[in-house]
């Protein structure tokens, strides 16, 4: 625990700089935000002190009952953000989106928001990986002592992988450039996705459940981008090494923190509960104790105490948020749920994954069984257009092109099969739809377009859009938000 307090001090300057230029609305945060720390425990974002989840959730639900008291259905929306969001950024997003949701005029889109925030910033996650976590366990002594070895080893790996990374980037640039400028079809994965899409579009029933926006970029625009690519080639090479050197460790740190949200870290460390046999027995037989699990327990308790009120829950996960929701869905579908405080199914109506960073296999093993067992539930998958995905430009083009999901598939992981690639990419998802065949009638897939008449355009844009509106998920809904 001391190591993680040190990690917090390392990122304190970033938090202070944010707080100096961003307003903090205490009542709004207390009513709509459940903040979770890196070990999976809730805390008060204003004071930083530990907080009881049940009390915070009960306060939020009382506010929800007051706000939605006249609605025939009280819709609750639980949003879990993804990686690359420190505590300050995630709170800013929650405040901005909460205000917009509370001002929603259409009753069909009116929800009471519950935002789950967790520290997934690049720097703090990398600090965890480098200094405080070894093989998934806290290492407050061994971590700092072995940090130089990790630092040098990662740098060596980044240099050794440079030829591979350049080959991937050149191949991607040539394929994307040829596709846009000349409509050349030599991209095997894209062609396979196109074939699936064209086949599904020919079915008058299925075509209402799937849609891909168009691209509007012309030859000269693409030619200009190619010139810029070559102009920035030298710094991009250096930055690609830096991206792998630091990015892979940061990705591991984010995964460690994400795994703690549902199953808190100390669930697996019985030495922290004391030496008494009763305490140890309780520790090894407990249900999930992460703050997100506690949120579900508190929701179930509240709904059970109000049998005359109709509730509906919508789960929205962006990027790595889908990994956390997968844990929850697997648990809610398991036999273990019958032995804990959730005595009846939670009224989850919609599961919305926005550019999910989970693998195809993880989603198929979590979402499909849950939706199969709950006929009132549906699943909605949102992605960028494949061209926007492959061509996303960050840092003025000085880092490898492509979205975060492209980086994960091509830099930070080595998938051993198609099912281990990211679900949130259109070309991956389309080729794996057969794994979701059993829920096909209650599943939609929507990819937005490229430039001009469409937004989101980048991986991080999804949280800037009205993700609570059904028309945002609906394939027939607008592409520009």
pLDDT digits (tens, 9 = 90+) for 163-211: 887 777 677 666 666 666 566 666 667 778 888 998 988 888 888 899 9
Integer angstrom CA distances of residue 256 from 8, 34, 126, 193, 283: 16, 19, 11, 32, 20
DSSP 221-274: HHHHHHHHHHHTHHHHHHHHHHHHHHHHHHHHHHHHHHHHHHS-GGGG-GGGG-
User: What is the spatial distance between Cα 453 and Cα 448, in angstroms, rounded to a whole number?
Assistant: 9
Q: Are 446 and 440 in contact (CB under 8 A)?
A: no
Task: Let me know if residue 174 belongs to a domain.
Answer: yes
User: What is the spatial distance between Cα 364 and Cα 128, in angstroms, rounded to a whole number?
Assistant: 30
User: What is the spatial distance between Cα 392 and Cα 401, in angstroms, rounded to a whole number?
Assistant: 6
- The Cα angle at residue 257 between residues 147 and 347, in degrees rounded to 5: 175
pLDDT band at 327 (very low <50, low <70, confident <90, very high): very high
- The residue ranges of DSSP E strands in 42-200, in sequence order, are 42-43, 74-80, 112-117, 133-134, 137-138
Q: Based on the structure, what is the number of domains in the chain?
A: 1
Quick one: 173 exposed, middle or buried, by C-beta within 10 A (0-12, 13-18, 19+)? middle
Task: Let me know if residue 336 belongs to a domain.
Answer: yes
274: left (phi over 0), alpha (psi -120 to 50) or beta: left
Orientation angle between helical segments 219-231 and 162-182, nearest 10 degrees: 160
Range of the domain at 460: 2-473
Residue 338's CB: how many other CB atoms inside 10 A? 9
pLDDT band at 350 (very low <50, low <70, confident <90, very high): very high
Task: Let me know if residue 74 belongs to a domain.
Answer: yes
Mean pLDDT value of segment 338-348: 75
User: What is the spatial distance between Cα 266 and Cα 290, in angstroms, rounded to a whole number?
Assistant: 9
Which is nearest to 212 in space by CA: 471, 427, 434?
427
Looking at residue 176, its pLDDT comes to 67
Tell me the pLDDT tens digit for each residue of 257-313. Answer: 999 999 999 888 765 555 555 555 555 556 899 999 999 999 999 999 999 999 999
Residue 22's CB: how many other CB atoms inside 10 A? 12
Tell me the pLDDT tens digit for each residue of 393-444. Answer: 887 777 777 899 999 998 889 899 999 999 999 999 999 999 999 999 999 9
Cβ neighbours for 141, distance < 8 A, ≥ 6 positions apart: none
Return the CA Rg of the chain: 23
Residue 240's CB: how many other CB atoms inside 10 A? 23
Tell me the pLDDT tens digit for each residue of 42-79. Answer: 999 989 999 999 999 999 999 999 999 888 999 999 99
Task: Let me know if residue 481 belongs to a domain.
Answer: no
Residue 10 has pLDDT above 70, yes or no: no
User: What is the spatial distance between Cα 58 and Cα 112, in angstroms, rounded to a whole number?
Assistant: 13
Q: Are 385 and 454 in contact (CB under 8 A)?
A: yes
Task: Output 427 or 390, whichever has higher pLDDT.
Answer: 427
Task: Let me know if residue 480 belongs to a domain.
Answer: no
Measured in whole angstroms, the distance separating CA 445 from the mean position of its chain's CA atoms is 17
Tell me the pLDDT tens digit for each residue of 243-260. Answer: 889 999 999 999 999 999
Looking at residue 338, its pLDDT comes to 59
Which tokens belong to 89?
């950024």
Token pair 């980048």 in the structure block, residue? 458
Looking at residue 458, its pLDDT comes to 94
Alpha-carbon torsion, ordered 338, 340, 341, 343, to 10 deg = 10
User: What is the spatial distance between Cα 413 and Cα 250, in angstroms, rounded to a whole number?
Assistant: 12
Looking at residue 278, its pLDDT comes to 58
Looking at residue 391, its pLDDT comes to 82
Looking at residue 328, its pLDDT comes to 96
Tell me the pLDDT tens digit for each residue of 80-110. Answer: 999 999 989 999 999 999 999 999 988 889 9
Mean pLDDT value of segment 14-25: 54
Tell me which H or E stretch contains 383: strand 378-383
């Amino acid at each position: 625990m001391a190591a993680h307090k040190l990690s917090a001090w390392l990122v304190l300057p970033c938090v202070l700089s944010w707080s100096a230029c961003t307003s903090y609305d205490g009542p709004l945060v207390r009513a709509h935000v459940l903040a979770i720390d890196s070990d999976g425990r809730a805390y008060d974002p204003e004071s930083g002190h530990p907080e009881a989840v049940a009390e915070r959730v009960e306060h939020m639900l009382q506010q929800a009952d007051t706000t939605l008291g006249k609605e025939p259905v009280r819709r609750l929306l639980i949003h879990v953000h993804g990686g690359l969001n420190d505590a300050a950024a995630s709170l800013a997003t929650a405040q901005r989106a909460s205000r917009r949701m509370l001002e929603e005029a259409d009753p069909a889109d009116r929800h009471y928001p519950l935002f789950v925030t967790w520290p997934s910033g690049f720097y703090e996650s990398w600090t965890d990986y480098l200094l405080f976590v070894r093989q998934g366990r806290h290492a407050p002594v061994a971590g700092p002592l072995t940090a130089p070895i990790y630092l040098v080893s990662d740098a060596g790996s980044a240099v050794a992988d440079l030829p591979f990374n350049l080959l991937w980037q050149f191949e991607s640039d040539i394929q994307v450039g040829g596709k846009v400028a000349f409509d050349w079809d030599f991209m095997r994965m894209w062609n396979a996705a196109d074939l699936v899409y064209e086949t599904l579009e020919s079915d008058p029933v299925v075509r209402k459940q799937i849609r891909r926006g168009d691209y509007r970029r012309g030859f000269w625009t693409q030619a200009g981008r190619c010139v810029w690519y070559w102009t920035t080639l030298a710094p991009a090479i250096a930055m690609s090494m830096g991206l792998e050197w630091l990015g892979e460790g940061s990705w591991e740190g984010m995964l460690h923190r994400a795994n703690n949200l549902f199953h808190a870290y100390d669930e697996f460390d019985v030495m922290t509960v004391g030496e008494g046999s009763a305490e140890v027995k309780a520790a090894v037989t407990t249900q999930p104790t992460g703050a997100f699990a506690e949120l579900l327990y508190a929701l179930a308790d509240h709904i059970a105490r109000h049998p005359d009120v109709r509730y509906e829950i919508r789960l929205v996960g962006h990027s790595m948020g889908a990994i956390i929701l997968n844990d929850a869905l697997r648990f809610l579908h398991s036999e273990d749920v019958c032995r804990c405080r959730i005595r009846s199914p939670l009224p989850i109506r919609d599961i919305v994954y926005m550019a999910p960073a989970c693998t195809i296999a993880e989603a198929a093993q979590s979402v499909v069984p849950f939706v199969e067992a709950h006929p009132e539930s549906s699943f909605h998958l949102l992605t960028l257009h494949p061209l926007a995905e492959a061509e996303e430009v960050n840092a003025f083009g000085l880092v490898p092109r492509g979205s975060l999901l492209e980086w994960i598939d091509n830099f930070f992981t080595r998938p051993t099969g198609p099912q281990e690639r990211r679900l949130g990419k259109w070309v991956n998802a389309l080729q794996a739809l057969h794994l979701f065949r059993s829920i096909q009638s209650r599943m939609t897939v929507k990819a937005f377009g490229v430039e001009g008449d469409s937004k989101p355009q980048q991986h991080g844009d999804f949280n800037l859009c009205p993700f609570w509106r059904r028309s945002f998920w609906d394939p027939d809904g607008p592409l520009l938000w």
